[in-house]
Amino acid sequence: MSLEPLNQLLSDTQQPICAYYYDLDALAERTKRIVSQLPKQVRFYYAIKANSDLPVLSTLAPHIFGFEVASLGEVTNAREAAADAPIAFGGPSKTNPELEGALLAGVELYHIESAFQLARLSALAATHGRSVNVLLRVNPRFELPDATLQMAGKPTQFGIDQLQIDDILASRDQFEHVNIIGFHFHALSNNLNAASHLKLVETYLQTCGSWQETHRLDIKLINVGGGIGIDYSAADTHFDWGAYCSGLQTLLDNALPQGVEIAMECGRFVTADCGIYLTEVVDIKQNHDQHFAVLRGGTHQFRLPASWQHNHPFHVVKRDQWDYPYPRPHITQDAVTLCGELCTPKDVLARNVMIGELRVGDLVVFDKAGAYGWHISHHDFLSHPHPDRYYMRNGCLFS
Ligand SMILES: Cc1ncc(COP(=O)(O)O)c(C=O)c1O
């Protein structure tokens, strides 16, 4: 991503640089490309937990089916960005005030995570004289492909154990104000393998098919979740979206009954590439024979590498100007650990990475920071100033 639009800002600022920059034009183009390749039976939701900035949501709204949200706050964000966009409401807790808020906001679809949640929603919908569509979120018992993170296929707080689904379906007449129109699966994050993802979707469809038969269900929608990956390693491989979409088309043509639709709810795959996190080197030192570069910023603003224990991809932007009377700390052709400004040894964004040259005052730019960057971070630890956040839309820069 070119930093040219930021040049003036970068040279004017007196403070060490610390900023996020999102290219919304690139985001719109990418999303159009992603959605255009999908089979027509697929509703493409964006999971806004990945990045819920209003400029991001309003950029995405014209190109996607709707928003997947996981709190009442996210319902509000989604409505503010696009009042008419369909919303699917997930999340393991969903308190009564949240469910009530969602009913009042006209949320169309609820992903139910427990039998108790189903009972509560049915009672609340009755109070509001409503009947609402729900998908039961399933925690599968079958084996899942490898991915960076698995939130199902093993004991977790997410979804309803596959073994309990039969009982819930058998007793569904008790819940008069909810219509169980299908099932929801979101089992893993950051799968880079299109073939294994396709196989997973096939297994979801087979599982739903057997419930449909046993319980004579009228399934309308199966949500196969998000979890499409972005490679943060040096290999920089790509999930083969084209192959996935054409495989999905064949699968749906062969295995999806007439009148049933598929939903996907991707976060990372949509927004990761549209954002970068820029930080300035404020100190370089050697400690116990290793080099450390301290940055203005850190994991309180960009928690992803610490959370996933990876070295985040970055590049260095050299800044030659040095107006100070004291020597400029630097390292050349050596390994360095890039650390933030927090008082914890866990504040590391990349460890022991080889570098050509790095000087105090240079910029370190972390790529692929548009998803789960700012939005999963604990911003106020140590009360440092927040980073600036810039957006580019239609060639205009705004913050
Ligand atoms: C229920 C649910 N759906 C969708 C997503 C988005 O996943 P991803 O960003 O991996 O596509 C998440 C992320 O945690 C999630 O919890």
**For domain 86-266, is the CATH number 3.30.70.120?**
no
CB-ligand 1 contact for 362 (6 Å cutoff): no
| pLDDT at residue 9, as a whole number | 85
Joined together, the tokens standing for residue 340 give 């933030």
| pLDDT attached to residue 1 | 84
Q: Is the pLDDT of residue 292 over 80?
A: yes
Please tell me the class of the 4-21+273-398 domain: mainly beta
> Does the pLDDT of residue 16 top 80, yes or no?
yes
**CA–CA separation, 310 and 299 (whole Å):** 12
- Give the pLDDT score at 149: 80
Confidence class for position 103, pLDDT limits 50, 70, 90: very high
Taking the CA of residue 91 as reference, the ligand 1 atom at the shortest distance is 1
- Ligand 1 centroid – CA 226 distance (Å): 5
For ligand 1, atom 10: residue with the closest CA: 227
| Average pLDDT estimate for 15-36 | 97
Q: What is the pLDDT of residue 144?
A: 87
Of 263, 244, 371, 258, the residue nearest 307 (C-alpha): 371
387 lines ligand 1 (CB under 6 A): no
Consecutive H or E run containing 383:
none
pLDDT, residue 137, reads: 98
- Closest ligand 1 atom to Cα of 265: 4
d(CA 121, CA 103) in angstroms, rounded, equals: 9
Ligand 1 atom, smallest distance to 227 CA: 10
Choosing from 245, 339, 343, 396, the catalytic residue is 343
Lowest mean pLDDT among 7-21, 124-138, 362-376: 7-21
Going by their DSSP bridges, the two strands 275-287 and 66-69 should be labelled as unpaired
Three-class secondary structure assignment of 283-330: EEEEECCEEEEEECCCCCCCCHHHHHCCCCCEEEECCCCCCCCCCCCE
Residue in the block written with tokens 């004991």? 155
**How confident is the model over 225-275, as pLDDT tens digits?**
999 999 999 999 999 999 999 999 999 999 998 899 999 999 999 999 999
Task: Provide the pLDDT confidence category of residue 360 given band limits of 50, 70 and 90.
Answer: very high
Residue 298 CB–ligand 1 contact under 6 Å = no
Q: Is the pLDDT of residue 22 over 80?
A: yes
Residue 2's pLDDT band (cuts 50, 70, 90): confident
Q: Quick check: CB of 47 below 6 Å from ligand 1?
A: yes
Under the banding of pLDDT at 50, 70 and 90, the label for residue 11 is confident
Ordered DSSP codes for 50-65: G---HHHHHHHGGGSS
Task: For residue 38, give the 3-state DSSP assignment.
Answer: coil
From CA 5, how far away is CA 123, in angstroms rounded? 53
What backbone torsions phi and psi does residue 227 show, to the nearest 5 degrees?
95, 5
Nearest residue CA, atom 1 of ligand 1? Answer: 186
Which tokens in the block code for residue 284? 């370089």
- DSSP conformational letter for 385: P
- pLDDT at residue 113 tops 80: yes
How far apart, in Å, are the Cα atoms of 302 and each of 248, 278, 298?
34, 10, 6
> Is residue 209 scored above 80 in pLDDT?
yes
| CB of 51 closer than 6 angstroms to any ligand 1 atom | no
359 lines ligand 1 (CB under 6 A): no
Confidence of residue 12 (pLDDT cuts 50, 70, 90): confident
**How many Å lie between the centroid of ligand 1 and the Cα of residue 266?**
6
pLDDT (tens digit per residue) in 81-92: 999 999 999 999
Q: How large a percentage of the chain has pLDDT more than 70? A: 100
Question: Could you give the residue range(s) of every CATH 3.20.20.10 domain in the chain?
Answer: 86-266
pLDDT digits (tens, 9 = 90+) for 144-193: 887 778 888 999 999 999 999 999 999 999 999 999 999 999 999 999 99
Token output for 4: 């040219």
Every domain range in the chain assigned CATH 2.40.37.10: 4-21+273-398
Residue 49 has pLDDT above 90, yes or no: yes
d(CA 300, CA 344): 11
Active site residue 208: no
